[in-house]
Structure 1
Amino acid sequence: MTKQNKLKHIKAFSLCVIVAFSSYAQNPDNMTNNTLLQEWTGSYQGVPAFDKMKVEDVSAAVEKGMELSLADIEKIANNPAAPTFENTIVAMESSGKELDRVFTYYGILSSNMSSPEFREISSKLAPKLSEYQSKISQNEKLFQRIKAVYDASQKKPLAADQQRVVDLTYKSFEMNGANLDAAKKERYAAINKELSSIYNSFSNNVLHDEENYVTYLNKDQLGGLSEGFIKSAAKIAKDKGRDGEYAITNTRSSMDPFLTYSTERELRKQVWTNYYSRGDNGDEFDNNKLIAEILKLRKERVALLGYDNYAQWRLQDRMAKTPENAMALMNAVWPAAIARVSEEVADMQTVANENGDNITIEPWDYRYYAEKVRQKKYDLDSDEVKQYLQLDKLTEALFFTAGELFNYKFTPVAEGSVPVFHEDVKVWEVTDKDTGKHIGLWYLDPFARAGKRSGAWATTYRSYTSFEGEKNVLASNNSNFVKPAPGEAVLVSWDDANTFFHEFGHALHFFSSNVKYPTLNGGVRDYTEFQSQLLERWLSTDEVINKFLVHYKTGQPIPAELVAKIKKASTFNQGFSTTEYLASAIMDMKFHLADPTNIDIDKFERETLAELKMPKELVMRHRTPHFGHVFSGEGYATAYYGYMWADVLTSDASEAFKESEGGFYDKDVAAKLVKFLFAPRNSMDPAEAYRLFRGRDAKIEALMRDRGFPVPKE
């Protein structure tokens, strides 16, 4: 998933971003030596001084940055000249540079290098930063200037990219209460302030449970686990002061392989329970009451604007447009998904019975017995596949794909020439293969550690724009692979390799941007996952498989018969993966369509899933109490469906490559891909962009074919 950590005032207004970049200012004076505010220096158009950032500098830097940004806004709002695109919209695009720089560092300290001290700082400033945003979104003079430019453009349209910026800016202000009367504006701002604190608390609670629920094993409890996993678990335990034991941390990268391979059923249950109970342990870090309050406040806020529910307000500027359209897509796929789960569970129960295990499949058994079925049905052992999935070789595969499709070349920078925030972070320069033109830098932070949020994400420290001269791109990919013992290779699962390609797709979207104004680097949530999901398809191409999937010990290429098994099993376990995802997406929408008055979160989740006939053998990918996409901010609230919306586009677009003469490396189709689907970012309507690429709208039939589900009859 992408998290573009640039807060460009109201033109990219998002409470998710507000929370993600909160801090607390104690001493805004004497800012000369505060690294976080200073212009970036050095090569590559200047880079962040990550090696010099300090938590103690954050508070004062954010306070001063807000002060300077608001001064910029006041200057625009009080300009005596008649409002024009240049003196109002462009001026806003150029404002708040100091605060942007602070937020770059803040994003690292929040997501990659968090600490108790930093969390305390962030919780204190969350409401202040919300007030800062309200001072912009409710600045009447500023809005009247924006409205004047917008109204004039409706009579005499501007150049296409300029018109898009005006439309997006005006819509953003309108959606965030600029047209409300004074009393409603005051309440709107108060709600935002309260929500910002709750979001911060939600995130901190989840992080607490991820850090504090660790399962320790002794040497007699390692049955089924691979040698590499055991060595990593031993190192983690040693680092935690438990030398001689083996640590299973409360993150997906540790939980998933343990549940897949461990023969210790009771320990599988314990690890599963720890993971899916994050934020739901009935203690001071429990998130259920916070969620109920979030839902109430969100509904009250959009009611001020005249909307019936939060989903209606949120989806108006998305591709789906309405919650009904989003639900229609999910409802079209759901029956096929749960039907496939029934088939998968039956296969697993058969294997368990044949083994004489005398059990009924439970959620903590699903991955374990699914792996047994995979081996039985397809003679495919996931652990055998992992031997050919080395992180270093997969990184080379990313670069190869980028070179073939985008003509990019990745060259490692000299060690020490670009500051990094942790020794694990590596940096590459990105250039055009033919001309040598510099495109930007790519940072990779691959390993899990204390203080780093779970999951995988992409972000930018600087995005491409040209309105003040061409700016290069500083993009980053972040993963949570388990760091190996010294001298050991990093081996990942096929699913993790897919995710690695997915997040790199976001990075390529950043690097290929060809937009003039910062606002156009944003995106429509149910569209921006499309580009990254599409890039996953190149992992399974023959070119990548034959060049980069080699055995980590022998260096021998992956056997053709193993590749054939992987491709034959491509739709295996689609019931599980589709259902666990869709359950989260549907629950997200159902929560925001419901009446939140006196809502019991746990009961609502349980009863809604029962109505959906959710299979008892698995759970939501993100259970509600730790559903950070939706409740640690608003970036994915009523928008988690967007992954499936984007996947319809993905399946359809990949068929365009399959149908072409050159397959997935067809130069003509690749050129159209870059021109229409990557480079424009948000400078044109996504539906229009897709039609320019494909010649028509996407069709759901491609998605159903991809997943091996029955294709609906026309």
Structure 2
Amino acid sequence: MSQDNPLLQHFEYPPFSKIKNKHFKPAIEQALKDARKDITTIAEQSAEPTFKNTLEALEFAGDQLGKVTRIFFNLNSAETNPEIQKTAQEVSPLLSEFSNDLLLNEKLFARIKSIYNQKSELDLNHEQERLLDKVYKNFTRNGANLEKEKQAQLRDIDKQLSQLSLQFGENVLAETNAFELHIEDEKELDGVPESVKDSAQTLAKEKEVLGYILTLDFPTYLPVMKFAKSRNLREKMLKGFGAKAFKDNEYNNTENVLKIVKLRYERAQLLGFETHADFVLQERMAKTPENVMSFLNEILTKAKPAAIKEFDELKSFAEKTDQITDFQKWDQAYYSEKLKQEKFDLNEDELKEYFELNNVIDGLFKVAHKLYQVNFKKNKTIDVYHEDVLVFDVTDDNGKFLATFYADFHPRAGKRDGAWMTTYKDQYVKDGKEERPQVSIVCNFTKPSAKQPSLLTFMEVTTLFHEFGHALHAMLANTFYPSLSGASVYWDFVELPSQLMENWCYEHEALELFAKHYKTEEVIPQELIEKIRKSSNFMEGLQTIRQVSFGQLDMSWHNLNPCEITDVKAHENKAFKETSLLPDIPTNCMSTAFGHIFQGGYSAGYYSYKWAEVLDADAFELFKEKGIFDSETAQKFKENVLQQGGTKDPMELYKNFRGQEPNPDALLRRAGLLENKK
């Protein structure tokens, strides 16, 4: 079988066109066997434990397993189908069992512990020390020091959690795909952008019905919420979006949420931590739940007065404009957009015409070159998993190959919502040979139609820059070990490179590189750039308390004993009490579709977005001071942050770049919630 299975052959790049669904499970099973052999060889060797024969050997053990599972789980997010989802349910427990077998391997841990206990006598460089600390902590944080009985409990918990997390995500995707709002009368779509109507009409034709079909994909959902004049339509869409995995059907996630938080708590307790948040934050810049709550509360205290003022203005505007006296959640985006247009005369549809996807990609590459001297050249020979996927060779100005970059931009039925960066291979050095990374970003931007190309909203432009910032972190990595490379850093530091990149979207010097009208090629007028900049802080108070509320909801699930919680919705309402300004919708629930914390890795970590915003605002103040393309500042950021990965403590890396710790007021200044520095 291995002869016929492309995943079990040697390959430089994922052989997507040769892979069939049936190949995944046998490949993962075989790769698991091979990885187990590698581990046994390391653990049971007769030679005395050394950094090289134990830590380094472990770092590169099970290489094929890593390659195969990355391909599999990346496809499960970007190009899934029922067969892949079934395989995911089958292999996840096997992978969880392997991970536990590895982390609870007594002989292996004894070797690691022996090296760890004598580390002060070993001549290790800072990266080797960091790897040793990381591996030792990884073992102890996963039960290596527990008694046998407790280790068995831990194994069982991890197995359940891996399956529940998968089920959670599959339910959300199924609910997203199941929602279709069939509109026959075009008048109901009054105000909705033509590009969205085109897509909805195309989908209706594919489904062989008359009229239009609206979905919950972001390129459809957000424009409808912002521009549809029909209040009834907005209400249906918002209620559909908010009810994902909260309906009385087989995809309801309420039990999954309760099971996940209880198992996480049980796991933390087994390992000697008070809560799951305490466990997670030991390996974060924030360190403790108290620090996180203090941080979120400080931001909330400073932003809430502005948020209330903005909210009152919005309600008054809706009443004055359309006699809306019972302002609801489905009104907020619509009247925000109308008020924004009135205040700044900024029409998002007009703005989109300057952000044709190919031009934005080209501009993104130019910005990256000006900052970090990287070049991108399309490569049509590398295999892809879908015709939409683009591939680029990345080189520096001396022609040195840096990375392979995959980009997948448009929504499909088998693709989950949102945007993310992932890797098929990390950068590392092995046996004196440097291996360069294979990096991918996946987004959900409006597809080109017969009438016009893919035109991005300004929010989509910032999303692209954001994910590309993550990609740069991986592409420019310059470390020895894959587990310390690129974005393998603390989760409240990982968003710094991505959020920093968004700042260039607001700068004239950057925008003129790519913001060109898709028909006339006219560069975006200065007055429009000024409107973008002036409007960038529009409703920033409301936006800030929204982000804080998500962080607080996350902590409310993970910074306590959740065993008394029986009602997901009631718990959520309590968590939102301080930040909620609008009437609740009983049929909607955020937690049941909150993939970041129940499917992704952000449990007890959603605060990271705001935390990293402080870092990025503080960092960009230096760029503003020196010049947004100042080569010395960019070089310092590249050398001290982007290339270093997780080889040093994040605060040390940040201070090496900035010369000081980040100042939280930088974020509030940028958001217009504090007066700017004189």
Is the TM-score greater than 0.5?
yes
Matched, 1:72 2:35: no
In structure 2, the residue matched to 1:94 is 60
Matching residue's letter, 2:418: G
What is the CA distance between 1:237 and its match in structure 2?
2.6
What is the CA distance between 1:676 and its match in structure 2?
0.3
What is the CA distance between 1:711 and its match in structure 2?
6.1
What is the CA distance between 1:613 and its match in structure 2?
4.3
Q: Check whether the contact 1:250–1:271 (CA below 8 A) recurs between aligned residues.
A: yes
In structure 1, the residue matched to 2:2 is 31
Note the alpha carbon deviations across 1:222-250, whole angstroms, 9 max, x for none: 100122221122123323x1443222211
In structure 2, the residue matched to 1:493 is 457
In structure 1, the residue matched to 2:396 is 432
In structure 1, the residue matched to 2:351 is 385
Change (3 A) 1:402 1:605: same
Of the three residues 628, 653, 661, the one matched with 1:697 is 661
Q: 1:36, 1:50 → 2: CA distance?
A: 9
In structure 2, the residue matched to 1:418 is 382
Of the three residues 332, 335, 343, the one matched with 1:366 is 332
Matches for 1:48-63 after TM superposition, within 5 Å: 48-63=14-29
- Structure 2: state its 5+ residue gaps: none
Matched, 1:629 2:596: yes
In structure 2, the residue matched to 1:607 is 574
Matched, 1:583 2:514: no
Q: 2:280, 2:513 → 1: CA distance?
A: 44
Q: 2:334, 2:16 → 1: CA distance?
A: 42
Q: Check whether the contact 1:366–1:618 (CA below 8 A) recurs between aligned residues.
A: no
Q: 1:448, 1:350 → 2: CA distance?
A: 37
What is the CA distance between 1:622 and its match in structure 2?
8.7
Q: 1:507, 1:34 → 2: CA distance?
A: 30
Q: 1:126, 1:455 → 2: CA distance?
A: 23
Of the three residues 282, 285, 290, the one matched with 2:256 is 290
Change (3 A) 1:36 1:676: same
Q: 2:364, 2:174 → 1: CA distance?
A: 34
Residue 430 of structure 1 aligns to a residue whose secondary structure is strand
In structure 2, the residue matched to 1:264 is 230
Q: 2:585, 2:675 → 1: CA distance?
A: 26
Note the alpha carbon deviations across 1:156-210, whole angstroms, 9 max, x for none: 3511111111111101111111110111111111111111111111111111101
Matching residue's letter, 1:552: Y
Q: 1:485, 1:335 → 2: CA distance?
A: 46
Residue 481 of structure 1 aligns to a residue whose secondary structure is coil
In structure 2, the residue matched to 1:247 is 213
Change (3 A) 1:75 1:189: same
With 213-222 and 64-73 compared, the bigger mean Cα shift is at 213-222
Q: 2:580, 2:321 → 1: CA distance?
A: 27
Aligned length: 671
Q: 1:167, 1:289 → 2: CA distance?
A: 37
What is the CA distance between 1:443 and its match in structure 2?
0.8
Matches for 1:675-686 after TM superposition, within 5 Å: 675-686=639-650
Of the three residues 561, 568, 575, the one matched with 2:534 is 568
Matched, 1:529 2:495: yes
Matching residue's letter, 2:405: W
Q: Check whether the contact 2:311–2:542 (CA below 8 A) recurs between aligned residues.
A: no
In structure 2, the residue matched to 1:450 is 413
Residue 628 of structure 2 aligns to a residue whose secondary structure is helix
Q: Check whether the contact 2:42–2:58 (CA below 8 A) recurs between aligned residues.
A: yes
In structure 1, the residue matched to 2:92 is 126
Residue 547 of structure 1 aligns to a residue whose secondary structure is coil
What is the CA distance between 1:492 and its match in structure 2?
1.4
What is the CA distance between 1:347 and its match in structure 2?
2.1
Q: 2:475, 2:389 → 1: CA distance?
A: 19
Q: Check whether the contact 2:246–2:589 (CA below 8 A) recurs between aligned residues.
A: no
Matched, 1:221 2:184: no
Q: Check whether the contact 1:213–1:274 (CA below 8 A) recurs between aligned residues.
A: yes
Q: Check whether the contact 2:508–2:529 (CA below 8 A) recurs between aligned residues.
A: no
Residue 228 of structure 1 aligns to a residue whose secondary structure is helix
Change (3 A) 1:270 1:59: same
Q: 1:237, 1:456 → 2: CA distance?
A: 26
Matched, 1:653 2:653: no
In structure 2, the residue matched to 1:230 is 197
In structure 2, the residue matched to 1:672 is 636
Q: 1:146, 1:212 → 2: CA distance?
A: 49
With 678-687 and 553-562 compared, the bigger mean Cα shift is at 553-562
Q: Check whether the contact 1:412–1:428 (CA below 8 A) recurs between aligned residues.
A: yes
In structure 2, the residue matched to 1:464 is 427
Q: 1:352, 1:698 → 2: CA distance?
A: 39
Of the three residues 366, 369, 373, the one matched with 1:403 is 369
Q: 2:74, 2:18 → 1: CA distance?
A: 13
Matching residue's letter, 1:524: Y
Note the alpha carbon deviations across 1:637-666, whole angstroms, 9 max, x for none: 100111111111000000011111xx1100
Note the alpha carbon deviations across 1:582-613, whole angstroms, 9 max, x for none: 21111101111222113121111112212x24
In structure 2, the residue matched to 1:687 is 651
What is the CA distance between 1:255 and its match in structure 2?
1.0
With 248-257 and 456-465 compared, the bigger mean Cα shift is at 248-257
Residue 71 of structure 2 aligns to a residue whose secondary structure is helix
Q: Check whether the contact 1:36–1:105 (CA below 8 A) recurs between aligned residues.
A: no
Note the alpha carbon deviations across 1:534-584, whole angstroms, 9 max, x for none: 011111222221121111222211121111111111200212322222211
Instruction: Name the TM-score, length of structure 2 as normaliser.
Output: 0.96
Change (3 A) 1:567 1:343: same
Matching residue's letter, 2:423: T
Note the alpha carbon deviations across 1:320-340, whole angstroms, 9 max, x for none: 011111111111111333333
Change (3 A) 1:517 1:365: same
What is the CA distance between 1:390 and its match in structure 2?
1.2
Q: Check whether the contact 1:505–1:535 (CA below 8 A) recurs between aligned residues.
A: yes
What is the CA distance between 1:377 and its match in structure 2?
1.4
In structure 2, the residue matched to 1:25 is none
Q: Check whether the contact 1:231–1:484 (CA below 8 A) recurs between aligned residues.
A: no
In structure 2, the residue matched to 1:483 is 447
Q: 2:125, 2:311 → 1: CA distance?
A: 57
Q: Check whether the contact 2:422–2:440 (CA below 8 A) recurs between aligned residues.
A: yes
Of the three residues 672, 675, 678, the one matched with 1:708 is 672
In structure 1, the residue matched to 2:75 is 109
In structure 2, the residue matched to 1:9 is none
Residue 477 of structure 1 aligns to a residue whose secondary structure is strand
Note the alpha carbon deviations across 1:413-451, whole angstroms, 9 max, x for none: 1x3x11111000111111112x11111211110000001
Q: 1:238, 1:327 → 2: CA distance?
A: 50
Residue 450 of structure 1 aligns to a residue whose secondary structure is coil
Q: 2:247, 2:413 → 1: CA distance?
A: 21
Matching residue's letter, 2:359: K
What is the CA distance between 1:151 and its match in structure 2?
1.1
Matches for 1:153-232 after TM superposition, within 5 Å: 153-218=119-184, 219-232=186-199
Q: Check whether the contact 1:76–1:92 (CA below 8 A) recurs between aligned residues.
A: yes
Q: Check whether the contact 1:113–1:451 (CA below 8 A) recurs between aligned residues.
A: yes
Note the alpha carbon deviations across 1:477-534, whole angstroms, 9 max, x for none: 1101121213521111111111100000011111110001112122110001111100
Change (3 A) 1:671 1:360: same
Note the alpha carbon deviations across 1:244-277, whole angstroms, 9 max, x for none: 3222211333211110000111110111111111
Q: 2:598, 2:16 → 1: CA distance?
A: 29
Q: Check whether the contact 1:584–1:622 (CA below 8 A) recurs between aligned residues.
A: no
Residue 523 of structure 1 aligns to a residue whose secondary structure is coil
Instruction: Name the TM-score, length of structure 1 as normaliser.
Output: 0.91
Q: Check whether the contact 2:180–2:213 (CA below 8 A) recurs between aligned residues.
A: yes
Matches for 1:14-25 after TM superposition, within 5 Å: none
What is the CA distance between 1:356 and its match in structure 2?
3.5
Matching residue's letter, 1:302: A
Change (3 A) 1:340 1:622: farther
